[in-house]
Structure 1
Amino acid sequence: MLFLLILFYLNSGAARPPRIVLPGYFSCQGALLEESGNSLACYAKTQAECRNGQLVLAFEKRLSARTDRARFEIIDTVHVRTAVPGREVHITYCSTATGKPRQYFVLYKWVPAADKRYLPYPRRAWGVNAQGQLVEVSVKSLRCLNNDYGAD
C-alpha cells in the first residue's frame, strides 16, 4: 500500500502540457540542431503550401539517444503565412556581429538572381530560447546564409 501511495505521489506532479501533433501535415524541411540533437522542422497542409501558404514552424525535442533511430516530439510551434508571392521560409545559419552562428527559421524575400552568400532581404526570424520555445528575433542584427548560394 505504501508503494502505491509513493507511486501516486510521484506521478501526480505538475501536469504535462498536451502533446502537439500535426496529423495530415506534409513535412517541408527540417534541420538537426548540432549542439542538442533536437530539431527545427517546417510543416504545411500540402507540398505546394511549403513554398506559398500557411506553415507551421516547429521545435522538436529528441526523445531517443543519438545512437538510436531518431524519434522526436513537437514541443512548440509558430504559425506563419507566406501568401505574399516571393516570400519563403528556410532553416539556415545566422549570426550576429558578436555571436556564434545558430540555426533559425528565416522568412525572407526571394530574389530570382540571388547569387549572394547571405540572404539579401530577411523579414522575420525565429530561434529557440533556453526554455525550448520558439521566439521571434530581430533580423536587423542577423546575417543569414543563403542555402542556395553556389548551387547551379
Structure 2
Amino acid sequence: MKILLLPLALLLGYAAPKPPRIQLKGYFSCQSSLIASTGDALTCYARTQRECRNGEVVLAFEKRLGKRDAKAVFGIVDTIHVRTATPGRYLTITSCTTAGGQPRQYFVLFRSDAASKEYLGSIIRVWGVNAQNQLVTVPVKNIKCLNDDYGAD
C-alpha cells in the first residue's frame, strides 16, 4: 500500500513552484487604480512623495490574490521602472480607449500642457497590461485618454 502512495506523494511534492511575488521594500504607493473587468490593480510606487510626481517611479501590475468578495489582497506580478524627472511631464493612471476598443486603465506619461483639457493631448508614453499579465508599451498614435483632473479647480 505504501508503495502505491509513493508515486502520488512524489508527484504532489514536485508540483510547479509558484513564481515569487515582487517585493518593493522602501517604496510606498503614490496612486492606484482598480481594473474593473478583472479586479486587479495598476499602482505607481516611489521611494519618496516628491518622486511620485518628479523622479524615479515603479509602475506595477498587481494581481488580486483572493476571490472578488474576499478582502482585497494583491501581489505584484510585473513592474517597469520609469524616470519622470523632466520638467513639465507627469504620470497618471487613467481610462483610455484605443481604436475600436473598450475603455481600460493605463499608465500615461504626458506633458503638462495637456492638463487643461477633457482628454490628454500631449501623451508621451502609455503602458498597459497584456494577456500574459505583463506591463507593455501601448502605441500612442490611436489612443484617447481621459484627464481625470479636468474641471477640478
Task: Provide TM-score, normalisation by structure 1.
Answer: 0.92
1:132-151 equivalences under 5 Å are 132-151=133-152
Question: Matched residue pairs, number?
Answer: 151
Shift of 1:108: 0.6
Structure 2 partner of 1:121 = 122
Equivalent of residue 25 in structure 1, options 27, 38, 43: 27
For 1:5 and 1:114, the matched residues in 2 are separated by 63
Aligned identity (percent) is 59
For 2:88 and 2:48, the matched residues in 1 are separated by 18
Q: Deviations over 1:83-122 (max 9, x none)?
A: 10111110001112311111100011112x8321101210
Structure 2 partner of 1:68 = 70
Structure 2 partner of 1:94 = 96
Kindly report structure 1 stretches of 4+ aligned residues shifted beyond 6 Å: none
Q: Say if 1:95 and 1:54 are closer, same or farther in 2 by CA, change over 3 A.
A: same
Equivalent of residue 60 in structure 2, options 51, 55, 58: 58
Q: Deviations over 1:31-87 (max 9, x none)?
A: 000010000000001111000000100000001122221000000000000010111
For 1:22 and 1:88, the matched residues in 2 are separated by 22
Task: Provide TM-score, normalisation by structure 2.
Answer: 0.92
Structure with bigger gyration radius? 2
Shift of 1:5: 4.0
Question: Unaligned stretches of 5+ in structure 1?
Answer: none
